[in-house]
Amino acid sequence: MADGGGWRPPRPCETYSAEWKLCRSARHFLHHYYVHGERPACEQWRRDLANCREWEERRSAEAQQSLCESERARVQAARKHTLVWALRQSPPADWHLPLPQEEKDQ
């Protein structure tokens, strides 16, 4: 991995650029603030974009290592957030029956 001969960034540099622009947009800011109660952290996308461009221009081993670590951290963060609800394999047996409130109204 140190020589980086056939290595390519995990994502194209255009993807890092698009993610950084999206992160800085007003719509994303409002959504993120509403959902999480804090400002979105866009700095990592900017660093990843800079490292990707550094890799493309100079084949920097430090940029390569930084991109790999960033992507590993992103994958770990995604794995950390599991589903809240347990997914059903089939509907409940009594799904077609009226709800208790509907029975009272009739």
- Condensed to tens digits (0 to 9), the pLDDT of residues 19-39 reads 999 999 999 999 999 999 999
Joined together, the tokens standing for residue 105 give: 């109204």
Ordered alpha helix ranges (H), the chain: 13-24, 26-36, 43-58, 61-80, 100-105
Joined together, the tokens standing for residue 43 give: 């700095």
Query: What type of residue sits at position 21?
Result: K
Which pLDDT belongs to residue 68?
92
Q: Give the global pTM.
A: 0.67
Pick out the chain residues at pLDDT < 50.
1-2
Q: Where are the domains of the chain?
A: 13-79
